[in-house]
Each structure stands twice: as C-alpha cells, then as structure tokens.
Chain A
Amino acid sequence: MAVETVASPSPRGFVVPGPVRQIGRRLGGAFLVVFGVVTLTFLLTRAFAADPTDLLSPPNATAADRAAVRSRLGLSDPLPVQYLHYLRDLLHGNLGTSYLTGRPVTSDLLDRLPATAELATYALILGILGGVTAGVLAAVFEGSIFDRMLRVVTSAGLALPQFWVALMLLWLFFVKFGLLPGPTGRLPIGMDPPPKVTGFYLIDSIVTGHLSDFGPALAQLCLPVLTLSCGVWSPLARGARSAMVLALKSDYVRTARALGLSRRRIWFVYALRNALLPVITMLAGTVAWAFSGSVLVEGAFGWPGAGHYALNALEGSDFPAVEGFVLYASILYVIVYQILDLAYDLADPRIRS
C-alpha cells in the first residue's frame, strides 16, 4: 500500500497529483471487486442452483411447455451468453423478476429500503452515541467498576445472537409488561401509513401533519432499534475504549499534562480526537451492515425491510430476489468502504508516508 507522496511525472510529461492517482487506483480496485461480486453471484445462481423451471411450470407441463419457460427465462442459451445478458440487464438496473411477487426485483427492493433505512438510521445514531460515550468514559476511568461492567456487557452483546435478543426483548416489554407493541412491523395492524415523502414514518407523519401516526410508529420502532443498536454499540464501545486507553498513554498526552492543561481539555480535546480516528474506521463496517438490513432482526419483528424480503425469498427459492439483495448489500459494502478508505487517506497524512 505504499503510495508515493511525490507525484512522479507521467509519460506524457505532465504531473498527476498524488491524491488523484490515489483516487484512480481506489476506484479501479472498487470496480474490480464489484465485478467479482457480480460474477460470483451469477455463477452461484446459474451454474450451481437448481433449475427454476420446475418452480415456474405447472405440474402437468409437457416438455414443450418447459422448454418455453426455459427460453423465456433465457436459460436455454449457453452460459457465456447468459452472462452477457445478465451484465447488460444489470447495467440497465434490471435485477430480474421475482418468482414470488412477479414484480421487478429492483422495484421490490426500492419499496422496502425506506423501512430498512429508518431502522438503520436510528439504530446507528443510538449505537454510535452510546458506544463511543461508554467506551471513552471506560477508558478515562480505566479499571473502575464502570469499566469492568462495560466489559461484561459488551462481551455479552457480542456473544448473544440478535434473534435471541429480539425475542427476549419482545417477551419482556410486550408480553410481560405490555409497554410496547408486538412484532407487527412498522405500524399496528390496520393503521395506514402517512403519505410518503421521505419514506421515514416518523418524519413523514410530522411533515404531512398526520401526527396520530407518530406515536404508534415510534412505539413500533423501539424494540427493533434497540436490538439492532446492540450490534452497533458493543464493538464500538470496545474499539473506542482501547483507542482511548492508548491515546491517554501517549507521549503527547504526557506533554500536555506536564504543560499543566486541565484534565478535561486533555481528555476531550487531545486524546479524544486521536482516539476517534480508528473508531471511524470501525464505523464503515457497521454502517454498511445496518443498511443492508439485519436479516434476522427484521424477520423477528416482522419489519417489512430489505432483509426480511431476502429472507422470504430465500425460503421460497426466489433466486432473482436473493441475487438482487446480495448484490445490493455487497455493492453497498464496497462503496462505504471505499469512501471511508479514501477519506481516511486524505485526512491522515501519516498513512501516505
């Protein structure tokens, strides 16, 4: 990964600035990964998966009927030709037609993304704020009871499967205390959603004046957000803690202390800023993960998001739909990672040396 800080002259004589070369190299790498993802997905579904003809033909179909289905799906072409058609369709944003819903996978996914995005946004806000605060405090008060407690809690948070956490929260808050609604998705059964502006029910209900939707939508959000944020804040709290512990032991903090700066200033201005840099890196994975919809959390709460869609598709052998979701999620990863990688390179001059 050694990238020259001094731009070398290109053959044609003009100088390409370092950052531009770096961006170019990264984009090239990202493109290669996306291409690989697309190819692997194609191979998995076309070369190894069961023939969907049986699924789509009536039981009494003749050989001719089956051949018609196959040619309609483009399955009668040789594999390389199918691959080219697949690439062409992808470039047009066409992910195929879902076997289950009979609609284009692209519009199916677009319909469900706002639900996933709303859940992910709140879970990320809660998880990041909670995780970083807890981690930093644990580092500042290293060895205290709070630090030890946090360690136990984050261990559990990392070890417990989210589908179990979801169930137990449901039992506690819905069954036992009756404080929050059951797993009926984004709104109680029978309620109409607010008119769509952003697709986020909380925001839409305020913007369009459908305030009666706000309370129920918020109540429905509580448990899924809490469950999902566990997956965000446990690793972040650990990461923030160790980064902050390291920063507090550094020479520049010792110097600042020797110069007589206040402890608060040392903690929150000098140490925190350095400690946050590695935490930002950890964030990339978390953000991509939350937005690709935690398949099992959405399933447990009946949340009508992209992850739930993928799970249903998987259970119904709806390969175009699964394929579409897998592509969406992995390309999202690549994009988020590349953006953060790049931002990091540009922000931290030490990496470039």
Chain B
Amino acid sequence: MTRSLDQMVEPVGQHQNRGGRIASVLPIGIRRIRTSTAALPMGLGFLGFLVLISLVSVLWTPYSPAATGTGPVSAAPSGAHWFGTDSVGSDVFSRTVAAGRTDVLYTLTVVAIALLVGSVWGAIVGFFGGWLEWATLRLLEVVQAFPALLMALFIISIVGPGTVKVILVAAIIPLPDFVRLARAEVLTKKNWQFAEAARMVGNRPMVVLFKHLMPNSSRPLLAYASISAAWVVGNIAALGYIGLGIQPDAVEWGSMIARGQSDVVSGAWWESFFPGIGILLLAIGFQLVGDGLSSRNQGEER
C-alpha cells in the first residue's frame, strides 16, 4: 500500500526512508522470508541487559560519572579504570553506563511520541480520507524530502537547545513513517468484516476506528516502532555528537564520542570506542525485537 508497509519488515537506511511513492511498487514480498525465531528473545535480552545496567548505574558506578580527575588523564583501560579515563580524568566505564540511561530514556520517549502522534494522525486520515488525507500526504512528501538529520539540527539551531525541544525535534524524523503505516493499516482493514460488523451495530465512526480498527493494527505498528527505535538511537547520538541541543554536561554516548575525538587521533581509542559499543548494542537490540515482531505478524497473516 505505502512503502512503510514494506519497510516495516525490511528495515533500510534512513536515507532510504524518504521520498514519495517509489517504494509503493516494491512487491509486498520484500520481506525477510526466513526469519530466525531467536530474534525476539535475543533482542529482548540485549535491551533487558542495557536497561538493567542503566538501573544499576543509578545506584552505583565505580566513580561518579561527572567527577573529573578520578585518575591519570587519558589513561588506558586498567584494573582501576576498566574502560580507561578521558582527557579530564573522568572514568569512561562510569560515564558509559550512566550515558546508557540518557540514551535509552531519550529513545523510548522519542519513539513513544512518534508512535502515538503518528498512528492517531495516520489512522484518522486513512479512515476519513478527503482533503485532510491529501494535505497530509503532500506535507509528508515535503518533510521527507529534507535530509533528516540536517533538518533536525537546523530546527534545533533555530529553536534553541533544551531536553524537551531535542526530544520533540528528534520525534519529527520518524513521524512520517508512522503516519503512513497507520494510514495503510486502516485503509486495508476498514472494509474487513469485523469493521463492517462494528459499524453495523451502530457504533460511531470514532469508536469503530479506535476500539476496533486500531487494536487490530497495533502489532505491525509496534514492530515498526522497534525498528525505527534503532534509527532514533543513532540520531540522538548524532545530535549529542554535534553538541547542538543536548546539554554539554549531560552524560550521553554521542557527546562522549565527541569529547574523545581529539584524543583518538593521538591513540586513546577507548574514550570514544566504548560509547559506540553502547549505541551498537542498543540499536541491534531494537532491530532484533522489530525483526522478531514483524516475522510473527507474517506468520499470522499466512
């Protein structure tokens, strides 16, 4: 129906995630046929592990993540500092696990906003159609023609930094995909028998939409939310890396990589390496959960 339906099951790069109707010609079958059943538990394991570490880091880290001068400056990993220290002598291990908290929380919030706003918006335009649908689709085409990350940076440079602003701006990037997916879901299902039946017994349209149609579309939307979360992780890290938006004193993986950048070129790889591994684990965890959820969807459809 729209490209999101296809992409839901075959995640592609952000840079593929845009543009008009091209992907609508993708055969519905562009999806992973042979899906490993291990994806979902593995992904949940990854995410659970990261959440656990984040929770533990609230109570205990070897050193305070904000403390400077906990040891020699830019020291290699050792028994005292498992991941080494950075250019101001902060403990990289403490900072990495504490940063996980920020990134996990930001990512979940961003995806939740995009999922909620996107599905309601998409469902309404798909259900009622008309000029609202036309205008929405044109607006999405325009927004998706912008280079995603640059647009986010651009808006932040205009509206100024701040946690809430960063989260809202980061939510704009995946939003169009949720709108399209929800619209496609409602469009395909609104004439199915259960929807007919719900209408026939006299339910008002809004009730049919939100009590009958939406719950039936929740699984693909959730699967896509998880896949999209993998991209959100990268975007948030990129915002932190550039240093626009996220406060400089916030402990965040992207800004840690930026802080270590100049030292990496003089040999201290550990300052930037470990935060990157954090991003990798979080993104792959979301990818796996998304893969697992969407392969279950297909199993049901067959």
Could you say which of B70-78, B151-159, B215-223 contacts chain A?
B151-159
Query: Can you pick out 27 interface pairs between chain A and chain B where the beta carbons lie within 8 Å of each other?
Result: A32-B141, A33-B141, A36-B138, A36-B142, A44-B158, A159-B234, A159-B284, A164-B237, A164-B272, A171-B264, A235-B13, A246-B30, A278-B26, A278-B27, A278-B30, A282-B12, A282-B16, A286-B13, A288-B15, A295-B150, A310-B150, A314-B150, A334-B145, A337-B19, A338-B20, A341-B21, A345-B25
Given known A-B contacts A285-B19, A296-B238, A341-B20, A156 and B280 have beta carbons under 8 A apart: yes
Evaluate contact between B284 and A156: CB separation under 8 angstroms: yes
> What is the minimal beta-carbon distance from B176 to any residue of chain A, in angstroms?
13
Q: How far is the CA of A12 from the CA of B275 in the complex (A)?
A: 67
User: Does A261 sit within 8 A of B, measured CB to CB?
Assistant: no
Q: How far is the CA of A158 from the CA of B10 in the complex (A)?
A: 12
Give every chain A residue within 8 A of B149 (Cβ-Cβ). Answer: 295-296
User: Does A267 sit within 8 A of B, measured CB to CB?
Assistant: no
Give every chain A residue within 8 A of B29 (Cβ-Cβ). Answer: 246
Evaluate contact between B151 and A326: CB separation under 8 angstroms: yes
A315-353 vs B, CB cutoff 8 Å, 1 = contact: the mask equals 001000010011001110110011011001100100100
Q: How far is the CA of A331 from the CA of B147 in the complex (A)?
A: 10
Could you say which of B31-39, B187-195, B199-207 contacts chain A?
B31-39
Give every chain B residue within 8 A of A150 (Cβ-Cβ). Answer: none
Given known A-B contacts A167-B261, A170-B264, A159 and B287 have beta carbons under 8 A apart: yes
Evaluate contact between A245 and B158: CB separation under 8 angstroms: no
Residues of A in contact (CB 8 Å), total: 72
Give every chain A residue within 8 A of B153 (Cβ-Cβ). Answer: 295, 314
Give every chain B residue within 8 A of A163 (Cβ-Cβ). Answer: 238, 241, 257
Evaluate contact between A246 and B147: CB separation under 8 angstroms: no
Give every chain A residue within 8 A of B18 (Cβ-Cβ). Answer: 285, 333
Closest 3 pairs between A and B when the two form their complex, measured CB to CB: A289-B15, A159-B283, A36-B142
Evaluate contact between B269 and A285: CB separation under 8 angstroms: no
Evaluate contact between B34 and A161: CB separation under 8 angstroms: no
User: Does B11 sit within 8 A of A, measured CB to CB?
Assistant: yes
- Secondary structure call for the A interface: helix
Given known A-B contacts A32-B138, A44-B155, A175-B265, A161 and B10 have beta carbons under 8 A apart: no
User: Does A142 sit within 8 A of B, measured CB to CB?
Assistant: yes
User: Does B59 sit within 8 A of A, measured CB to CB?
Assistant: no
User: Does A155 sit within 8 A of B, measured CB to CB?
Assistant: yes
- Among B142, B149, B242, B284, residue most surrounded by chain A Cβ atoms (within 10 Å): B142
Q: How far is the CA of A238 from the CA of B10 in the complex (A)?
A: 8
The one of B12, B22, B142, B280 in contact with A340, judged by C-beta atoms closer than 8 angstroms, is: B22
User: Does B24 sit within 8 A of A, measured CB to CB?
Assistant: yes
Evaluate contact between A246 and B27: CB separation under 8 angstroms: yes
**Chain A, range 169-190, C-beta contacts under 8 Å to B:** 170-171, 174-176, 182-183
Q: How far is the CA of A158 from the CA of B280 in the complex (A)?
A: 9
Interchain Cβ contacts within 8 Å, total number: 201
CB-nearest residue of chain A to B156: A314
> What is the minimal beta-carbon distance from A285 to any residue of chain B, in angstroms?
4
User: Does B299 sit within 8 A of A, measured CB to CB?
Assistant: no
The one of B24, B145, B241, B266 in contact with A161, judged by C-beta atoms closer than 8 angstroms, is: B241
Give every chain A residue within 8 A of B155 (Cβ-Cβ). Answer: 44
**Chain A, range 147-164, C-beta contacts under 8 Å to B:** 155-156, 158-161, 163-164
**Chain A, range 269-294, C-beta contacts under 8 Å to B:** 278, 281-282, 284-286, 288-289, 292
